[in-house]
Amino acid sequence: IAKAMPRYEPQLIMKIESITLREIHMPLVHFFETSFGRVYSRRILLVSVEADGVRGWGECVAGEDPYYSPEWTETAWPTIKHYLAPLLLQSELDSGRDCAARFARVRGHRMAKAALENAVWDAEARQKQLPLWKLLGGTRREIACGVSIGIQDTPEQLLQKIETELAAGYRRIKIKVKPGWDLNVLEKIRARWADIVLSVDANSAYTLDEVEHLRKFDAFNLLMIEQPLWNDEIYLHARLQKAIQTAICLDESILNARDADFALETGACRIINIKVGRVGGFSEAKKIHDVTVRHNVPVWCGGMLESGVGRGHNIALSTLENFRLPGDVSASKRYWKEDIIDPEVEVRADGMIAISDAPGTGYQVREELVRKFTVREETFRAGK
């Protein structure tokens, strides 16, 4: 049997000299509410790695509370400090791709792992003077953007927000839903905009007992319903998908490429949302992408209210060929008065982001602003 020839590429060995972990605080321009709660301000962990004279940045997308996932800001810090950073500092790496194997002994903590792995990819791209999107294997020169609009105090406020985002050019509107804020608001949206591309995200707000209720979503011509059932459940989504017409998209339940394969084989969803933090970094995100190509199912890039660092990484990932649907990758100014990157992420009037050819993400970290927002900081070096 002919085996694929291994590809021998000239490798630059990377030596990670130091890793700096920071917590920054950034108030959101507008609160964001999902079925599990409301957030006004973000506590974001940033990682920077120094390797051979270049600096790479990564963002930990864990939330302020263990509601979206078991990981949260306070679990990520000691996990990086005591377990993950030492694993990177003790030896040389060929590439960001090597991080996942180094971290394998540590179970879970994918958002903490992704912050480090992505910082190494970022450093590698800068070291090789390549755009990160090319290093990741992307092809798209522009990417399509959607928005995720949280639960508001009143349906009228939601309609106002949708109007603003449509006027800005966004190509898909996603609203958060939960029992009591779902069919009633969909009625109002569709009465005003019969044809816009519209999705809903339940963040696990329903159970399979509510299948009759969930079937009523079919009347609204939705692009998808995201994560209707339990965050850790795939098989019961397959049961639900058989009972409803609207395409299910899984977010929380897909933690790795095996989950994606299982979900697509069992018919648990017809679309997958990839969040690079949720799955542990760029290498696992690429594997999930490749699984969806084999199943001919589209993916899109999810968001976690990231600062410019994570946003830049989401943009690079979205250039992979199978990111065929608009992502939750939207402009910096929707979240922040001032983002920590230069330039800020801007979305064109046609709802697209143009991809830069500059080395790295094409967005420079504004280190003086990061310092201003920093509330704690610690640097780790080999042997210390």
Q: Which of 201, 259, 284, 339 binds Mg ion (CB under 5 A)?
A: 201
Site for ligand OSB in 44-73 (CB under 6 A): 68
Which residue's structure tokens are 């406020």?
157
Q: Which residue stretch of 44-52, 241-249, 300-308, 366-374 sits at the interface with ligand OSB (rule: CB under 6 A)? A: 300-308
With binding defined as CB under 6 A, does residue 303 bind ligand OSB?
yes
Do 206 and 230 meet the contact criterion of CB atoms below 8 Å apart? no
Q: Which residue stretch of 87-95, 106-114, 279-287, 298-306 sits at the interface with ligand OSB (rule: CB under 6 A)? A: 298-306
Q: Which residue stretch of 18-26, 196-204, 259-267, 281-289 sits at the interface with Mg ion (rule: CB under 5 A)? A: 196-204
Q: Which is nearer to ligand OSB, 345 or 370 (CB)?
A: 345
With binding defined as CB under 6 A, does residue 181 bind ligand OSB?
no
DSSP 8-state symbol, 26: E
- Interface with Mg ion (CB under 5 A), residue total 3
Count of other CB atoms within 10 angstroms of residue 220:
16
Site string for ligand OSB, 316-335 (x = CB under 6 A): ------------x-x-----
Q: Which helix (H) or strand (E) holds 301?
A: strand 299-301
Active site residues: 176, 275
Q: How far is the CB of 32 from ligand OSB (least distance, A)?
A: 6
The residues, ordered by sequence, that sit 6+ positions from 254 with a Cβ below 8 Å of its Cβ are 260, 263, 272, 273, 274, 278, 279, 288
The rounded radius of gyration (Å) of the Cα atoms in the chain is 20
Binding partner selected for residue 96 from ligand OSB, Mg ion, none, CB under the kind-specific 5 to 8 Å limit: none
What is the C-alpha separation between 150 and 246, in angstroms, rounded?
21
Q: How far is the CB of 252 from ligand OSB (least distance, A)?
A: 7
With binding defined as CB under 6 A, does residue 373 bind ligand OSB?
no
Task: Give the residue closest to ligand OSB by C-beta.
Answer: 303
What is the C-alpha separation between 367 and 341, in angstroms, rounded?
9
The residues, ordered by sequence, that sit 6+ positions from 322 with a Cβ below 8 Å of its Cβ are 289, 292, 293, 298, 299
What is the C-alpha separation between 170 and 326, in angstroms, rounded?
9
Q: Which residue stretch of 19-27, 49-57, 73-81, 296-304 sits at the interface with ligand OSB (rule: CB under 6 A)? A: 296-304
What is the C-alpha separation between 273 and 253, in angstroms, rounded?
10
Binding partner selected for residue 182 from ligand OSB, Mg ion, none, CB under the kind-specific 5 to 8 Å limit: none
What is the C-alpha separation between 127 and 263, in angstroms, rounded?
37
Site for Mg ion in 217-256 (CB under 5 A): 226, 251
What is the C-alpha separation between 307 and 297, in angstroms, rounded?
29
Q: Which residues bind ligand OSB (CB under 6 A)?
A: 34, 68, 148, 201, 203, 251, 302-305, 328, 330
Q: Which residues bind Mg ion (CB under 5 A)?
A: 201, 226, 251
